[in-house]
C-alpha cells in the first residue's frame, strides 16, 4: 500500500508542478511557485487519505491538519518571497525570482 501512495503522490506532484511551469511561461514569472508549493503538501495529504490504509479517523485528521497548514503557508510564502521585495517593472516578477532565473 505504501508503494501505491508514493507512486500516486509522485505522479500528482509531477502533474501539479508541470501545470505551474506551463502557467509561468506566458507570465514570464517563476515567482508563482512561491505561494503554490505548499498546495503540494495538501495534494499528498488527501491522496494519502484516499488510497492509504490504517485508521480512517487518523488519516482524516492528518489530511485536514495538513490542509490547514498548507493553505495558510501559501500566502505566507507569497509575502515572504515577493511581498517585501521590489518587483521589476518590465516583467512584474520579484527581484529574487528574476535573479534566481538568470543564473540558469
Per-residue pLDDT, 75 = 75
Whether this model's pTM surpasses 0.75? no
pLDDT higher than 60, residue 77: yes
* Residue ranges of domains in the chain: 2-102
Residue 30 per-residue DSSP state: G
More confident residue, 75 or 9: 9
- Please provide the average confidence, as pLDDT, over all residues in the chain: 81
Per-residue pLDDT, 11 = 96
Helix (H, G, I), strand (E, B) or coil at 5: helix
Average pLDDT for residues 31-43, to the nearest whole number?
87
Angstrom distances, CA of residue 31 to CA of 4, 14, 64: 32, 18, 27
pLDDT higher than 70, residue 4: yes
- Per-residue exposure over 84-103, b if at least 16 CB sit within 10 Å of its own CB, e if not: ebeeeeeeebbebbbeeeee
Instruction: Please write the tens of the pLDDT for every residue from 79-96.
Output: 655 545 445 555 555 555
Angstrom distances, CA of residue 48 to CA of 9, 51, 64, 96: 8, 6, 12, 34
pLDDT higher than 80, residue 47: yes
More confident residue, 92 or 75: 75
Per-residue pLDDT, 86 = 47
Cβ pair 34, 81 in contact under 8 A: yes
Amino acid at each position: 500500500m505504501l508503494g501505491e501512495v508514493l507512486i500516486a503522490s509522485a505522479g500528482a506532484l509531477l502533474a501539479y508542478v508541470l501545470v505551474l511551469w506551463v502557467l509561468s511561461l506566458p507570465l514570464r514569472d517563476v515567482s508563482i511557485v512561491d505561494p503554490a508549493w505548499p498546495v503540494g503538501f495538501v495534494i499528498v495529504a488527501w491522496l494519502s487519505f484516499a488510497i492509504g490504509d490504517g485508521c480512517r479517523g487518523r488519516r482524516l485528521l492528518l489530511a485536514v491538519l495538513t490542509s490547514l497548514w498548507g493553505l495558510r503557508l501559501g500566502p505566507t510564502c507569497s509575502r515572504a518571497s515577493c511581498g517585501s521585495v521590489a518587483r521589476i517593472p518590465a516583467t512584474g516578477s520579484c527581484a529574487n525570482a528574476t535573479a534566481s532565473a538568470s543564473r540558469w
